[in-house]
Amino acid sequence: MPRTTVTDAIAQVLKASSKPLSAREIYDSIVASKLYEFKSKDPFGIVRNQISRHCIENAKDGAAPRGLFRKVEKDLFEIVD
């Protein structure tokens, strides 16, 4: 069985939501639903970083090759269909 990644967990949370969510809401939902076990001193930072890397608006170096998420407001994100 393949291991769930942080990005997979973010996508699951956003797919299940009927509205855009903030990075904090996404993180809180991942933790509450036990979708991913963080082994970091800054797990919220990891979630923010992965959202940023996989945002279609992000064209910086280090961005993922395919955008999975979309920024709809300052700190609100949704999944790209």
Question: Hey, what domains does the chain have and what are their CATH numbers?
Answer: 6-79 (1.10.10)
Q: What number of residues does the chain have?
A: 81
Percent of the chain beyond pLDDT 70?
89
Q: What is the pLDDT of residue 1?
A: 46
pTM: 0.88
CA distance 81 to 74: 20
Q: What is the pLDDT of residue 58?
A: 73
Contacts of residue 57, Cβ cutoff 8 Å, sequence gap at least 6: 67, 70, 71
Average pLDDT over residues 21-30: 97
Counting other chains too, the contacts that 37-41 makes at CB distance below 8 Å and 24 or more residues apart are: 38/6
pLDDT tens for each residue of 35-64: 999 999 999 999 999 999 898 877 666 666
